[in-house]
């Protein structure tokens, strides 16, 4: 599955756009299975790159969400509180939070779409 090239990716399977919109990848949602609950931070929360900022709960497991970059939460996707399955339907279209990036340069250390696709393929054993 091609990953959108307008964003960067983490080895923990999150994506981020240059404007600070964060979500999880198609690979992550496929690994999790049916998502039943998403726990997101409140507006104003400070995120630190590489640290957890919430959880995604599926019928299989609870998985931590890791911040791909540092910044302040400006918006949380309230739709996911009542419709967490939207992430299963469209992982790359269903964002989790939006942040005001502290240092946009942090994005340079993340994976490109091609690098992430290769990484996810290796992790899946392909």
Which of 51, 105, 96, 45 lies closest to 71, judged by CA? 45
User: Is residue 37 included in any domain, yes or no?
Assistant: yes
CATH for 100: 2.40.50.100
Per-residue pLDDT for the chain (126 aa), expressed as one digit of tens each?
589 999 999 999 999 999 999 999 999 999 999 999 999 999 999 999 999 999 999 999 999 999 999 999 999 999 999 999 999 999 999 999 999 999 999 999 999 999 999 999 998 887
Three-state SS at 120: helix
| Rounded CA separation 3/101 (Å) | 22
What is the number of domains present in the chain? 1
Determine the pLDDT at residue 101: 98
Q: Return the pLDDT at 55.
A: 97
Q: Is the dihedral of CA 68, 69, 73, 75 positive or negative?
A: negative
**Is 54 within the bounds of a domain?**
yes
Q: Which backbone phi and psi does 115 adopt, to 5 degrees?
A: -65, -40
With respect to residue 123, please indicate whether it lies within any of the assigned structural domains: no
- Per DSSP, 111 falls in state B
Asked if the structure places residue 111 within a domain, the reply is: no
Query: Is residue 48 assigned to a domain?
Result: yes
Would you say 9 and 111 are in contact if contact means Cβ atoms under 8 Å apart?
yes
Domain that holds residue 91: 7-106
Does a structural domain hold residue 113? no
Structure tokens at 34: 């049916």
Query: What's the longest Cα–Cα distance across the chain?
Result: 40
**Residue 80 domain-assigned (yes or no):** yes
At 97, list the tokens: 């939070």
- What tokens appear for 11 in the block? 């080895």
Residue 82 covered by a domain? yes
Task: Return the pLDDT at 124.
Answer: 81
């Amino acid at each position: 599955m091609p990953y959108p090239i307008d964003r960067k990716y983490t080895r923990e399977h999150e994506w981020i756009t240059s404007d600070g919109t964060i979500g999880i990848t198609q690979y992550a949602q496929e690994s999790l299975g049916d998502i039943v609950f998403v726990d997101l931070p409140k507006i104003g929360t400070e995120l630190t790159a590489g640290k957890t900022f919430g959880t995604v709960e599926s019928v299989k497991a609870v998985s931590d969400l890791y911040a791909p970059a540092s910044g302040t939460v400006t918006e949380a996707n309230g739709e996911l509180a009542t419709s967490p399955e939207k992430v299963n339907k469209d992982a790359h279209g269903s964002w989790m939070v939006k942040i005001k990036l502290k240092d946009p340069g942090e994005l340079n250390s993340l994976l490109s779409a091609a690098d992430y696709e290769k990484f996810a393929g290796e992790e899946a054993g392909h």
